[in-house]
Amino acid sequence: MTLINADKGYLGNQLVKRDGIQDSFTQEEVAEYVKCMKDPIYFAETYIKVISLDSGLVAFKPYDYQEKMFKHFNDNRFSIVLACRQSGKSISTVIYILWYAVFHPEKTIAILANKGATAREMLSRVTLALENLPFFLQPGCKALNKGNITFANNTKIVAAATSGSSIRGLSVNLLFLDEFAFVENAAEFYTSTYPVVSAGKETKVIITSTANGVGNVFHRLYEGAVQSSNQFKPFRVDWWDVPGRDEKWKKETVSNTSELQFEQEFGNSFHGTSNTLISSNTLLGLKAQNPIEMRNDVYFYEKPQAGYRYIMTVDVSKGRGQDYSTFNVLKISDIGFSQVCTYRNNLVSPMIFPDIIVKIASFYNEAMVIIENNDVGQVVCNHVYYDFEYENTFVSSSVKADGIGVMMTKRVKRIGCSNLKDIIELSKLHLVDANTIDELSTFEVKGGSYSASVGNHDDLVMNLVMFAWFVSSDAFGDLSDRDLKSLLYEDRVKQMEEDITPVGIIDEQPLVGSACAYEDMVNNMNEWNNL
């Protein structure tokens, strides 16, 4: 540990050089500086110290895969790391960030995590490594606190929680997202953040995480990286890569936990839950798209097309930063339904929300608006229907005072969930919104019904549940020349035809026995259709 004179330290911290200090360096120090600047691996293994649980402050000795990780970060703009627990992925990234800050002036680095406290703890690791750098390597500090470090070379490191506003207004040169598979509202954050980081030609993004189920943003980005369908380059650290971990270690760890938990935390396995409404295989096939435009929390994926009908389903919250007020706009076509526009905001007032609803619904060819009228939703229903005089608002009853909109009863939810499962798994509903897909991946069985898993939201999904209920109703038949039963029936018949069609064909005639099976199948499907 190199102590700096008190008059040269930052605010009394004799381990950190303050801004404005002029010093001369030896030829050896200059040579070392150049070596470190050119090679982050040399910098790390020569000058970095870390805290060991067993030995306290020790020199950092990178494993082979950590050296490869440094090189991976340096060689690629967009890096995504899938790593087992306790593999040193976070400290490796912290060290790389310090190297980048020391030797790259005029840069902004953002460390973001699920919680602000976690991000600040990562920044404290940067500070610890900085304090133990020799004097000649330290650039000097203009500011150093729990939330940011500003160096004399005008490079800044900030730490914050992942949110849509966390780096808004910043020109970020290096973005680090830690344990991204566990970040709440990850889809919303990534959608709002991507334009910030993609604007620069040299901006780096580093995403690290342990696996945490299928369908979330981290899983989709990593799988896309493996398949070379996005900009990210994958890096993987398995449990056997870590020295000291062998089959004996695995057996002991499994005995203290479970095979499933081991595979999730140490085996880098993207295990999905069997309790989700939508099957894991279907969730894996859902591909999010970037919106063509984003404006005031409205995500546009397709402009309205002449001759098409649209339906907007609306879920209303109290606007107090908890549940979200949302809507989904869906296009009706002969082959099914497609998502064209979404809205998601947990701060919008129920008094302001109707204005947004009417403007967007009017934009989409005077879309039919269906609002859940539970609780505060009734206020929004009345504003849309009476105050804005939007005539294309769904009215379920002309008698009851709460007849505007839809009451989300157990029956409505049950029918909606059942229909939603069918239209998604039979590819009759085309989904493109990342937030919606993210919510579907955590929409699971709870107490005989379905809802979001702990720490997640289902407001956009409930839009779809209400939509799926509506398209099976007589009201949808009046709106469209198709009904849900016929749409699904045709696809089921086709699917069953394919299932019973024999592989072998003799003289262009089906093998004996298929005709009876087909007749029975058609009779069964006719009975289903008449339900």
The catalytic residue positions are 179
3-class secondary-structure state, position 13? strand
**Helix, strand or coil, per DSSP, at residue 159:** strand
Q: What is the CA radius of gyration of the chain?
A: 28
Q: Which pair of structure tokens corresponds to residue 465? A: 């549940």
CA distance 224 to 246: 30
Distance CA 194, CA 94 (A): 22
Biggest CA pair distance of the chain:
97
Please tell me what DSSP assigns to residue 155.
Answer: -
Tokens standing for residue 171 = 């020109």
* Calpha distance 60→95 (Å, rounded): 10
**φ, ψ for residue 103 (rounded to 5)?**
-110, 10
CA-to-CA distance for 59 and 52, rounded, in angstroms?
9
Q: Identity (one letter) of the amino acid at 332?
A: I
Among candidate residues 26, 58, 2, 23, the one with its CA nearest the CA of residue 139: 23
Residue type at 115 in one-letter notation: K
* Crossing angle between the packed helical segments 27-38 and 40-47, to the nearest 10 degrees: 120
Residue 528 CA neighbour count, 13 Å, CB half = 15
For residue 508 the two structure tokens come to 């262009």
Looking at residue 208, its amino acid is T
Looking at 211-270, list the stretches that DSSP marks H as alpha helix, in order from N- to C-terminal side.
217-226, 247-256, 259-265
Determine the 3-state secondary structure of 353 from DSSP.
Answer: helix
Provide the β-strand partners of residue 9: 17
Collapse the DSSP code of 139 into the 3-class scheme (helix H, G, I; strand E, B; otherwise coil) and give the result: coil
